[in-house]
């Protein structure tokens, strides 16, 4: 069907979803699916021998049977399909860097790959802050300002201070 790097097989999730809908009596006819996806009947026979394709179709069928054809299921199938469009836009030299950055950030977020950030707002300035309680009275609090030097050569450090 396509040769984009996101697809390592001749079928994609949308085809598996459409076949599942057909098998559950909720979608197009098989001939309509074949025509829309620009594949042949022989391709369907080949895909039917692919255990990964069969597992994907069965998963969709279970979702359709158990949960009904929900908006969320349709949106998930569409979002997976739109990743191909996102890939094309990110690699298109005519697309602005700002759009590419937004698409990359969104993809990372959708994939759940964003770093888990449990830092509070008052410590967002960076660096390290250490608090030591020296007593119950706030007058006992002390602030110590320290600087650091980052180096990769231990011999360059000056310990004479």
Is the model's pLDDT at 152 over the cut of 50? Answer: yes
- Read off the pLDDT of each residue in 120-140 and give the average, rounded to a whole number: 62
Q: What pLDDT score does 1 carry? A: 46
Buried b (16+ CB within 10 A) or exposed e, 35-50: eebebeeebbeebeee
State pLDDT tens for residues 96-129.
999 999 988 888 888 787 777 654 445 455 566 6
CA distance 10 to 32: 18
pTM of the model: 0.44
Distance of CA 36 to the CA centre of its chain: 27
Compute the residue count for the chain: 161
Buried b (16+ CB within 10 A) or exposed e, 11-28: bbbbbbbbbbbbeeeebe
């Amino acid at each position: 069907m396509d040769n984009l790097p996101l697809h390592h097989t001749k079928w994609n999730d949308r085809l598996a979803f459409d076949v599942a809908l057909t098998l559950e009596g909720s979608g197009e006819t098989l001939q309509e699916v074949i025509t829309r996806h620009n594949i042949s009947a022989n391709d369907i026979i080949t895909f039917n021998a692919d255990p990964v394709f069969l597992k994907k179709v069965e998963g969709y069928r279970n979702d359709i049977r158990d949960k009904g054809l929900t908006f969320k299921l349709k949106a998930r199938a569409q979002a997976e399909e739109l990743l191909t469009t996102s890939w094309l836009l990110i690699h298109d030299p005519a697309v602005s860097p700002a759009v590419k950055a937004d698409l990359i950030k969104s993809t990372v977020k959708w994939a759940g790959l964003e770093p888990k950030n449990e830092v509070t707002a008052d410590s967002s300035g960076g660096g390290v802050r250490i608090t030591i309680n020296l007593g119950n009275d706030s007058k006992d609090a002390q602030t110590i300002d320290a600087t650091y030097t980052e180096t990769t050569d231990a011999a360059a450090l000056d310990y004479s201070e």
